[in-house]
């Protein structure tokens, strides 16, 4: 969001969110699932008559349970403008409007770009994954939680690689892993190592993900990461 042109929108959205859970969230979603701050930005922009864009399709289910892919708005908006021009030409030629053929199929989900992966149920807690055997099938076999979308890079492998690197190799201390979880650190690391190995074996992303070098990524980063302490919360 452009703060120069939409700063008033951000302030109004902040106001809506300050009383969100008890007021504006259930009002805007009618207590539907997934209520939160996302609707407040649209309402604030609409109030100030500022331009905004909402994706034409809902999130795409991206794997095990409630993992969702959220679309990339800029590329979809560009596609939408082309589709609308095509529709107008057909209407000018006297053709009968067909929403499914002219609109839905033209903005086909399989040809969509994605910006975010919403991984919220189950939460990505390696300790709970290990305890509840979330990463195993009913036959006790390994499974991927984010599916096999080969259009994307192997995000699941990246996530597990980072968890193993930070928790087991660098031994950063996280508040959420204190107590019983800290006592099971060796078991957690064994679990994470197994997951990384399994995901590497089943990965389709040979060019970048299989050869992650964290130290190299940090050194080449535009904003170098400086670790001041290993006491991370």
Rounded-to-integer distance, Cα 107 and Cα 219, Å: 40
Beta strand residue intervals within the chain, DSSP E: 60-61, 66-71, 114-121, 173-174, 231-232
My answer on whether 202 and 188 are in the same domain is yes
pTM of the entire predicted model: 0.68
pLDDT band of residue 232 (cuts 50, 70, 90) is very low
Whether 65 has a pLDDT exceeding 90, the answer reads no
Q: Are 125 and 179 in contact (CB under 8 A)?
A: no
My answer on whether 145 and 183 are in the same domain is yes
My answer on whether 213 and 228 are in the same domain is yes
Q: Mark which of 117, 143, 168 sits at the end of a domain.
A: 117
Q: In which domain, by residue range, is 179 found?
A: 122-232
Per-residue pLDDT averaged across 192-213, rounded? 79
My answer on whether 198 and 111 are in the same domain is no
My answer on whether 23 and 67 are in the same domain is no
pLDDT attached to residue 227: 39
pLDDT attached to residue 60: 76
For 113-159, the pLDDT digits (tens) are 888 887 777 778 888 889 889 889 889 999 988 877 777 778 888 88
Altogether, the residues listed in the chain come to a count of: 233
Rounded-to-integer distance, Cα 183 and Cα 13, Å: 43
pLDDT attached to residue 192: 94
């Amino acid at each position: 969001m452009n703060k120069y042109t939409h700063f008033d929108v951000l302030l109004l959205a902040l106001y809506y969110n300050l009383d969100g859970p008890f007021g504006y969230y259930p009002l805007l979603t009618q207590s539907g699932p997934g209520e939160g701050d996302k609707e407040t930005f649209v309402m604030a922009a609409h109030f100030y008559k500022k331009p905004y864009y909402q994706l034409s399709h809902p999130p795409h289910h991206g794997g095990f349970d409630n993992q969702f892919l959220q679309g990339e708005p800029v590329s979809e908006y560009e596609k939408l403008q082309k589709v609308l021009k095509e529709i107008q030409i057909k209407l000018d030629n006297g053709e009968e409007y067909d929403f499914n053929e002219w609109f839905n199929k033209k903005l086909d989900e399989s040809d969509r770009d994605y910006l975010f992966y919403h991984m919220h149920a189950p939460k990505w807690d390696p300790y709970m994954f290990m305890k509840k055997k979330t990463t195993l099938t009913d036959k006790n076999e390994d499974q991927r939680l984010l599916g096999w979308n080969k259009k994307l890079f192997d995000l699941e492998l990246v996530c597990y690689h980072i968890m193993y690197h930070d928790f087991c190799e660098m031994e950063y201390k996280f508040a959420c892993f204190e107590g019983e979880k800290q006592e099971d650190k060796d078991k957690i690391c064994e679990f994470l190592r197994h997951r990384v190995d399994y995901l590497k074996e089943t990965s389709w992303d040979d060019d970048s993900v299989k050869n992650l070098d964290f130290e190299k990524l940090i050194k080449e980063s535009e904003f170098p990461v400086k670790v001041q302490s290993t006491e991370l919360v």
